[in-house]
Amino acid sequence: MGFFSKVKEKFVGKSAKQNDKYVAGLDRSNTTFSDRINELAARFREINDEYFEELENILIMSDVGVSMVMKIVAEIKNEVRLQNITNPKEINEIIVDKMFVIYANDSVMTTKINYADEGLTVILMVGVNGAGKTTTIGKLANRITKDEGKKVMVAAGDTFRAGAIDQLAVWANRVGVEIVKGNEGGDPSAVVFDALKQAKEKNVDVLICDTAGRLQNKVNLMKELEKMNRIIKREVPDAPHETLLVIDATTGQNGVSQAVEFSKITDVTGLVLTKMDGTAKGGIVLSIKDQLNLPVKFIGLGEQVDDLQEFDLDQYIYGLCKNLVEE
């Protein structure tokens, strides 16, 4: 069964609680993407080169990324020829299937957090300022505490940005986890070292470390992350278990380029796409996959504490293509 049929069978007419969050959070993307494709089908009597050009534009406007768009459209053309389809109204299923078959191909699809087999799990959060790192750490700490029953601690390793420490402290307080912090302008690795020591003493299960996001000063940032990684490894040899890169989905292709830069600086193990509810260009998930081949582990679908959702490909497809699937 193709993605299209699978998603249709799974979600249409049903209302699972988590699914509602995806549908609401991706509403703007769905309207831009699905409605434009439906509108295109209504305008063309038959599928021709012009139709495909417009389809390419819709995909590009949804932030799918040019090289990915070319691959997807080539696949769609091929399938249309094979099935001998000429009516644009019959193409929805093929569009949805091809987009996601390409996404899922050769993919590292694990969305689960890689926890340590035993002892302390260390998660390092990286990303440029304003991407939503602090908010994500708060939401993630809450998820891990409430859903998995683990004891979480956070380390205020962004000593560079004014206010970052206080902001993280507010979140820690809100979700009821302990925070280890140093002074603004201090050595972030010292904070992390301190946090590692305390986490081990207090039998913490998961330590989430904030870091500064000065991508414009790449050499310093690289040195800082290297030092932090060295200290973490010295204390917990198989750590960090995850280095999650936080990207603001509303920054579109710029966010994708930042992600590429970050992945050159440090070993990223997964992505968190924030503010998906604030963009009409939900296709960024596909573009990132194409350029980085890293799994999207979480997506931010709002500002509330429970708006960070584990990335689920089926729910994402349904959210993005709702009006196509339900046509």
Ligand X SMILES: Nc1nc2c(ncn2[C@@H]2O[C@H](COP(=O)(O)OP(=O)(O)OP(=O)(O)O)[C@@H](O)[C@H]2O)c(=O)[nH]1
211 is in an annotated binding site: yes
Among 2, 119, 186, 278, binds ligand X (CB under 6 A): 278
Q: Helix, strand, coil shares of the chain as percentages rounded to 5?
A: 55, 10, 30
Span near ligand X by CB under 6 A; candidates 33-41, 124-132, 188-196, 255-263: 124-132
210 is in an annotated binding site: yes
27 is in an annotated binding site: no
DSSP-derived letter for residue 161 is S
Output the six-digit token pair for 225.
């992350």
Using the minimum distance from each CB to ligand X, give the nearer residue, 146 or 161.
161
Q: Is 274 in the site for ligand X (CB under 6 A)?
A: yes
Nearest to 270 by CA among 304, 303, 293, 249: 293
Q: How many CB atoms lie within 10 A of CB 235?
A: 18
Output the six-digit token pair for 221.
């940032």
Helices then strands, counting H and E runs in the chain, come out as 13, 8
Q: CB–CB of 58/40 below 8 Å? A: yes
Nearest to 271 by CA among 259, 281, 280: 259
Question: What is the radius of gyration, based on Cα positions, of the chain?
Answer: 21
Q: Is 135 in the site for ligand X (CB under 6 A)?
A: yes
Using the minimum distance from each CB to ligand X, give the nearer residue, 47 or 144.
144
Q: Is 300 in the site for ligand X (CB under 6 A)?
A: yes
Q: Is 169 in the site for ligand X (CB under 6 A)?
A: no
Rounded to 5 degrees, what are φ and ψ at 129? -60, 140
Nearest to 211 by CA among 139, 311, 125, 117: 125
DSSP-derived letter for residue 251 is G
Q: What does the alpha-carbon distance between residue 48 and residue 307 come to, in Å, rounded to a whole number?
A: 41
Tell me how far, at minimum, the Cβ of 193 lies from ligand X, in Å.
Answer: 21
Q: What does the alpha-carbon distance between residue 227 and residue 138 come to, in Å, rounded to a whole number?
A: 24
Question: Collapsing DSSP states into helix, strand and coil, what is residue 77?
Answer: helix
Q: Is 303 in the site for ligand X (CB under 6 A)?
A: yes
- Binding mask 177-216 vs ligand X (x if CB under 6 A, - otherwise)? ------------------------------------x---
- Binding mask 67-96 vs ligand X (x if CB under 6 A, - otherwise)? ------------------------------
Nearest to 200 by CA among 232, 163, 242: 232
Tell me how far, at minimum, the Cβ of 167 lies from ligand X, in Å.
Answer: 6
Among 65, 132, 188, 319, binds ligand X (CB under 6 A): 132
Span near ligand X by CB under 6 A; candidates 12-20, 143-151, 194-202, 299-307: 299-307
Using the minimum distance from each CB to ligand X, give the nearer residue, 232 or 244.
244
Using the minimum distance from each CB to ligand X, give the nearer residue, 128 or 204.
128
Span near ligand X by CB under 6 A; candidates 15-23, 77-85, 130-138, 217-225: 130-138
Q: What does the alpha-carbon distance between residue 124 and residue 240 come to, in Å, rounded to a whole number?
A: 7
Q: How many residues bind ligand X, per CB under 6 A?
A: 20
Using the minimum distance from each CB to ligand X, give the nearer residue, 55 or 265.
265
Q: Determine the residue with CB nearest ligand X.
A: 300
Among 133, 143, 241, 289, binds ligand X (CB under 6 A): 133
Q: How many CB atoms lie within 10 A of CB 197?
A: 12
Which residues fall in the annotated binding site?
127-134, 210-214, 274-277
Which residues would be at the binding site for ligand X (CB under 6 A)? 127, 129-135, 161, 167, 213, 274-275, 277-278, 300-303, 307
